[in-house]
Structure 1
Amino acid sequence: MTRYLQAAAVPDTRLRLFCFPYAGGGASTYAGWQRRLGSRVQVLPVQLPGRESRSGEPRFTDLGALVRDLDRELADELDFPHILLGHSMGALIAYALARHRAELGERLPEALVLSAYRAPHLPAPELARPDADDDELVHSLVGLGGIPQILLDHPDWLSALLPVARDDLLMCSGPGPSGKEPLPLPIQAYAGSDDNLVTPAEVAEWVEYSQCGFSMRTLPGGHFFLREQEDVFLNDLAHSLDTVVGLYH
């Protein structure tokens, strides 16, 4: 089993839904999604190094290096019909992995689901200054809703999160995916109506990156609307997945 998946993928005929986390997040972001989305897909949260169950491993700060490692490690799993989904930083990773595989002539996702991130030709969102101290970074994360109250109440947990968030933000601010030609796959995008980091108009720019159809939903909430409005988001995602599953079958 690959290090990136906490459980082995089941060799059945369902589409595989690989889920990539936001900056500072881990695979637990998607806990419970399998139960909520049912049998239409096999939910596979991706655990990046340096967090949660992989906290002792060095983190990536270069997007290209991470994508190459993901492609190597997940190659066998990505040879089956699949969808790549990511929220915020996870959207960037999902797109970069699809772009990388397109350049190598490897199997592409049936679709991309990209949430709360600007299209690649736009400047990367700047959550905090590169030299921001811990208090400034915490203030920025709290403002976005990216730090649950329980972390604020446990300084030791918070101190473990901040280095992860810093490295992830460094990766997001570095060189992005190469190539700008549209990919031969559909893109479903999501934005939060009150997101003060990434606007719906910026998310809508992903339309330029698909040859096969683009759709977008703007949902109530801020940058972490998928957590604030989980029921609304998952209900809409289930409907979108049903469309892809119908085309796949």
Structure 2
Amino acid sequence: MSKWLVNPLPRPDADLRLICFPYAGGNAATFTPWIKQLSTNVELIAIQAPGRASRLFESPHNNMDELIAELLPLIPTLLDKPTIFYGHSLGSRVAFELMTRLKAQGLPLPVHFIASGSRGPQVKAKENTTYHLADDAFMTELENLNGTPKAVLENKELMELFLPLLRADFEIAETYQYNSKITFDCPLTVLGGEQDIQITREHLQGWQDFFALPADIQILPGDHFFIDSHPELVTEQVNNIIGQLTAKLPAKAISQYG
């Protein structure tokens, strides 16, 4: 399997596949522990882009088009069974852009899309970009987001390793904006953090513009990184979706992907 794709527990006989896309600066390790809580009829794949974790010394992408161009050829082989896309923050936008490219090529699409901790893709993440700031100012921004442990921020050697990745991811997050009017027919779930001062309910509702079915918006305890602070509540939401999909996908429907 490609180094882009982390599969903590292969389940070739699973009914569904869950593909997860991490937030800016994040990696597959956010999702791999989920396998212990997820339904046993789902196979988990977590995306591991260059510049992080086992790929730390590879150059990270700082452009959405280049990232998607490298990732896209790897995805069709994962769509041989019903698939859910889950993205958190920047990961939601990466997952959405990937889905638009799949549709443009007439390839199979996910049967459910989960956008987590993110504005709709038509809205820039920030009007004032931060990825190009001097190190001290950039690290202040990181501290304000509350997603980087203070011990890491205060460790000069670690930050020298992580800053290129963080800047690259932030550049994608802060410059990407989707301008097309394409819409999708699959169900949409949107997750938000109750104490997230960055992403409002109105921001979460922005995803509705691209999906024909009404969005199911769920607000969970925690700030922007509720995915890390309350993973059990997130996986509970995911398991609910898996259960609904399993009930709606009789053997005949599932077999069309086989």
Q: TM-score, normalised by structure 1?
A: 0.91
The verdict on how the C-alpha distance between 1:80 and 1:98 changes in structure 2, with shifts beyond 3 A counting, is same
Give the 3-state SS of the residue equivalent to 2:168 in structure 1: helix
Please say which of residues 120-129 and 209-218 is displaced more in the overlay: 120-129
Paired letter, 1:3: K
Give the 3-state SS of the residue equivalent to 2:96 in structure 1: helix
RMSD, matched Cα: 2.0
CA distance in 2, matches of 1:83, 1:242: 12
Paired letter, 1:58: S
CA distance in 1, matches of 2:76, 2:151: 37
The answer to whether the Cα contact below 8 Å between 1:186 and 1:214 also exists between their aligned partners in 2 is yes
Give the structure 1 partner of residue 106 of structure 2. 105
Give the structure 2 partner of residue 2 of structure 1. 2
Please say which of residues 64-73 and 174-183 is displaced more in the overlay: 174-183
Q: Structure 2 unaligned runs (5+)?
A: 251-258
CA distance in 1, matches of 2:27, 2:156: 19
Deviations 1:144-193 (A, max 9, x none): 22102442353322222221111011112334345222112111111112
Identical-pair percentage: 28
Paired letter, 2:19: F
Give the structure 2 partner of residue 232 of structure 1. 233
Deviations 1:99-154 (A, max 9, x none): 11011110000111110111122222368524322222222222222102442353
CA distance in 2, matches of 1:10, 1:230: 22
Q: Structure 1 unaligned runs (5+)?
A: none
Paired letter, 1:5: L
The answer to whether the Cα contact below 8 Å between 1:181 and 1:209 also exists between their aligned partners in 2 is yes
Give the structure 2 partner of residue 133 of structure 1. 134
Give the structure 2 partner of residue 24 of structure 1. 25
Give the structure 1 partner of residue 62 of structure 2. 61
Q: How does 1:10-159 map to 2 (within 5 A)?
A: 10-125=11-126, 129-152=130-153, 154-159=155-160
CA distance in 1, matches of 2:30, 2:153: 18
The verdict on how the C-alpha distance between 1:191 and 1:73 changes in structure 2, with shifts beyond 3 A counting, is same
Give the 3-state SS of the residue equivalent to 1:216 in structure 2: strand
CA distance in 2, matches of 1:2, 1:174: 28
